[in-house]
Chains A and B, each alone.
Chain A
Amino acid sequence: MRFENPWLLAGMLAAAIPVIIHLINRHRAKVRPFAAVEFLLLSDKRLARRLRVRQLLVLALRVLLMIAIPFALAKPYLESDPPPGVDLAEPGAIVLIIDDSLSMQAVPASGGESLVAAAVEAAREAISKGGASTSFAIVAAGTPARLLTPGLTFDRPTLERALERVVPTPRGGDMAGALREAERVLSQSHEPRRRVIVLSDQAAHAWAGISEPWALADPPVVDLVAVGPPDAPPPPNAAIDQVLVRPAPEVGPGQVHVDVTVINHGDTEITTPITVDLAGVVATSSVTVGPGKREHLVSTMRLPGPAAGLRGTARLESDALAADDTWYFTVDFGGEVTVGVVNGSPRNVPYLDELFFVRAALEAPTGAVARIHPMWLTPDDLEPGRIEHMDALILANVGRLTRAQAIAVETFVQQGGGLLITAGDQLTAESSLSYGPLLPLPIRASKQVGRPGDPASELTLLRFDDIDGEHPVMREFAEVDEVSLLKARTWSYALLDTVQRDGVRVLASFTGGQPALVEVPYGRGRLMMLTTTVDRDGSDLCIRSSFLPLLHQISLYLAGKLERESGASQQVGEAVIVDVPAGEGGLVLDRPDGAQVALPDPAPETKLEVGDIDVVGHYSLRRRSSGASETVFAVNADRVESALQRADLLEVAEILRRPGAGVAPKVAAADAPAMSADAPSSRRTRLWPVVLVALFWLLASEAWLVLRG
């Protein structure tokens, strides 16, 4: 028997307390000569023995209570020999799941080889102990889970070659996929003895979200093997969780803010230096992060050249898991942002035209690192060939869309484009039905709350009130006290329906709480709607000084140029959709490991899905004939892997036990001592729940005896 908190056993000395109290009471009892003591004896004869037994019983219960409390708090457990399970030497079918996710690159605090190397060694030993009639298959659990052998095989050289292919990867974990793959492989075997051995660090994130691991009614026996030093706490690990780069025009031309988020997964506070390298411009600082906390470090840097396709890295001091200490990112504010603007209400008189003020705003210099190139369109131009090369689209007071137009715009957004819809007399509740999902929220009605220049309307006019300063578009407006945006008056607007839609974010509201500017992600792109007009028909926003920066911010944001961040779409193991560089000739992908991969030209498509992303770093897609134009993107490891805390294997075992299955799987919480020197040599059985139950019964018995007495 062992204890998790053995020092608490010192509390068992308290067992002497009831005995001491008993002895003191006995000592303090008065001695009284009494003539009729024989009557007491006679009375006592029937009771005496019972009372004495009861007193001794109460005393014993109290002593046991005082022992049981620290005993339970010390958390005793039994370490027993592993359950027999399936003898490796007997005929059977065994699938070895080897976790090759990022967290397996961690090196134990005690040093030595990485966990993935220990897992491979354990697998190799299991195979060597397997009998000639035992077939094996090897599944790698990194995203996506992969079968490394041609199914179950008896051929040891094949297995050895598969093991040699298991190397540390920056992949995330796909334990659910690995279990399904193992089950699929075993279902093809007729062997009655079927077993799955999971060789992993058993990090909590590997098992998160797995509730129905088995598809078949007769799941196999599962052994969970926690590789690494037994009972050792996970090594402290810090990671860069995200890097955001945004322009800093308030600092100066070409200046950007680089916001590095550092997360500390360890149990102690850390102070670590951070080095940010942006195309050769290096900034170094340090950050202190508390246990389990995340901190931001913002560095202001000057871009070394045009902000197009710049490579950047942020690095921490190397720790137990070095792979998550570097974050790769790109900065691509530069170049031109093409914004197609569709006029839904053209007029012959220029200043009455719907786009009079929009035209003035978009043709003005942005002052930012990216330049906006507007293209003036009509609703008839809304077809795939016309809009697909644009970065963003503005539908200004555009009424009913044809089915083809709606599909063209929807496809445009789903592929990563941005769309701004502005309200007006053409966009009514009825006509907006043709927009389908393109509207962030359905229009319930068009509202008129006053007239421009009418003094009686001054009290009913709406103003911008609640601004979401956290949003990149509105950040500049929230940081200035006196903004003309808040002074803009609105007398006509589209009232949106308050239905539930995932991801809807209200960037600004009117004084009555009605949404003024809303956004929702759609596909790979973004949808945004301004519920009033961009001419003077419904608002005087367009003549306010804030109109120009607001329209610039919206355009850049919808084009994805406002800030470049490394999101979930750029993770190892997932496909990345990138813009195809202009020009002629074959496409070549330069990988971070120096390899070059020829890719087919998707023309006339302008975007290309790049798969087989298994290395972190900067990738470059270019034309073979000319390297002048390239599309650079960065790929990082899944940061979920950075948390190295181990899962509760008993809970995992419960998950793996299929309720109602004919044969419940046997689960060894920690097994295979013969396979790995690092693996725990026995199974742990917690005893304190039993002790707590016993404690309860002791308390109840003691109370019953005392009350009865």
Chain B
Amino acid sequence: MSVAAPNRPSLLDPRALARIKGLLLRSRLVVDGVLQGIHKSPHHGSSIEFSEHKEYTPGDDIRHIDWKAYARVDKVYVKKFEQETNLRAYAVLDVSASMGYGAEGRLTKLEYASVLAASLGFLLLRQQDALGLVAFAGEVEAAIPARARVSHLSHFCAKLEATQPKGLTRIDLGLRRVVEQARKRGVVHVYSDFFGDEDAAFALLRQLVTRGHQVTAFHVLDGDELEFPFEEMTVFEGMETGRRLLVEPKLVREAYLERMTTFREGLRRRCLADRVRHVLVDTREPPENLLLRYLTGSEGGRSQHAGGT
């Protein structure tokens, strides 16, 4: 896989992305950006294995001509590669009411997470991995078994688009469904703000890791949640609990940020301890940047930086 600079200029600003309708289109745009970044890289991918030789016919890629075989048998063959098809990827998406938060002009956390999931799904399907979906809130809202067909992506995106943020955050319900379905080794992407029962969630995450799954926790947070930039006296209404609280923001900002930092750091440490890859998702960041960082494995710095540690 090629590597792109993680902090290069945004290819597609989240505010502009928010104005684009249709998850499929959004994810295509994001993936295009990612692929552009990859094409700039001098490296080639490594996840493709050699399958057999095929006699050269015009139109074949000359880079795949097996010159050693030509030397031996004086015929031009090209190498044929067999892509891995035994990888099953599951997107576990939090569609609780709290994921519906988004500052004005920006994608909501759910929309952002959906773009990420769809984009990664696009990439996975492109290399013919199987892609499944579990959307959960207070219960499992939607579930799609893992399929490797490219046409599966539209179904995947349609499901994502059909989900509306509602209910409580029960991560354990979504993960339990994955634990039940994912018997083979695979990849599990969890998109959530983790505003729920962490202990129950990590018990299941550990179980998945133990089974050999590569688990990534995308911790999706809005910039408002990270910095609490409010000034005027405001009645804050809990999106999941409906609880109202009249607050003078400047009076509680310090305590809130301290609490939020503790929460994020705690989640990051638990992920590190349980061998779960942790990616902090700030919805103000262009998604392709984040994807590039994720794909190149350089999100840790970002995560640490965002975590303020």
Interface centre among B236, B237, B260 (most CB of A within 10 A): B236
Pick from A30, A43, A47: contact of B234, CB under 8 Å: A30
- Across the interface, name the chain B residue whose C-beta is closest to A39: B259
- Interface of chain B residues 4 through 63 with chain A (CB within 8 A): none
- Interface of chain B residues 197 through 237 with chain A (CB within 8 A): 222, 224-225, 230, 232-237
Q: Smallest distance from the beta carbon of B286 to chain A beta carbons, Å? A: 22
Cβ of A35 and Cβ of B98 under 8 Å apart? yes
A51 to B247, CA, bound (A): 9
Pick from A25, A26, A43: contact of B256, CB under 8 Å: A43
Q: Smallest distance from the beta carbon of A37 to chain B beta carbons, Å? A: 4
Q: Mark B232-253, 1 if CB is under 8 A from A, else 0.
A: 1111111111011111100110
A-B pairs with CB below 8 Å: how many? 89
- Across the interface, name the chain B residue whose C-beta is closest to A709: B251
A267 within 8 A of B: no
Pick from A30, A37, A39, A41: contact of B263, CB under 8 Å: A39
A48 to B256, CA, bound (A): 12
Q: Smallest distance from the beta carbon of A690 to chain B beta carbons, Å? A: 35
- Across the interface, name the chain B residue whose C-beta is closest to A52: B246
Could you say which residues of chain B place their CB within 8 Å of the CB of A40? 236, 245, 247, 252, 256
Cβ of B243 and Cβ of A41 under 8 Å apart? yes
A48 to B195, CA, bound (A): 21
Could you say which residues of chain A place their CB within 8 Å of the CB of B109? 35
- Across the interface, name the chain B residue whose C-beta is closest to A31: B235
A29 to B237, CA, bound (A): 12
- Interface of chain A residues 23 through 69 with chain B (CB within 8 A): 25-26, 29-44, 46-48, 51
Q: Smallest distance from the beta carbon of A579 to chain B beta carbons, Å? A: 93
Interface centre among A33, A35, A47, A48 (most CB of B within 10 A): A35
B135 within 8 A of A: no
Cβ of A25 and Cβ of B259 under 8 Å apart? no
A29-B246, A40-B245, A44-B245 known; A34 and B260 CB under 8 Å? Answer: no
Cβ of B252 and Cβ of A44 under 8 Å apart? yes
A25-B233, A44-B247, A51-B248 known; A37 and B258 CB under 8 Å? Answer: no
B273 within 8 A of A: no
Q: Smallest distance from the beta carbon of B307 to chain A beta carbons, Å? A: 15
Cβ of A35 and Cβ of B251 under 8 Å apart? no
Cβ of B232 and Cβ of A37 under 8 Å apart? no
B129 within 8 A of A: no
B99 within 8 A of A: yes
Q: Smallest distance from the beta carbon of A27 to chain B beta carbons, Å? A: 10
A595 to B109, CA, bound (A): 117
Interface centre among A25, A36, A39, A709 (most CB of B within 10 A): A36
Pick from A35, A47, A51, A709: contact of B195, CB under 8 Å: A35
Could you say which residues of chain B place their CB within 8 Å of the CB of A25? 233
Mark A residues whose CB is within 8 Å of B: 25-26, 29-44, 46-48, 51, 709
Mark B residues whose CB is within 8 Å of A: 97-101, 109, 193, 195, 222, 224-225, 230, 232-241, 243-248, 251-252, 255-256, 258-260, 263
* Top 4 A-B residue pairs of the complex, sorted by shortest distance between their CB atoms: A35-B98, A43-B255, A37-B238, A35-B101
Given contacts A30-B235, A35-B98, A39-B259, 18 further A-B contacts (CB under 8 A): A26-B246, A29-B246, A31-B235, A31-B237, A32-B237, A33-B236, A33-B237, A34-B238, A35-B97, A35-B109, A36-B260, A37-B241, A38-B241, A41-B238, A43-B255, A44-B252, A47-B252, A48-B245
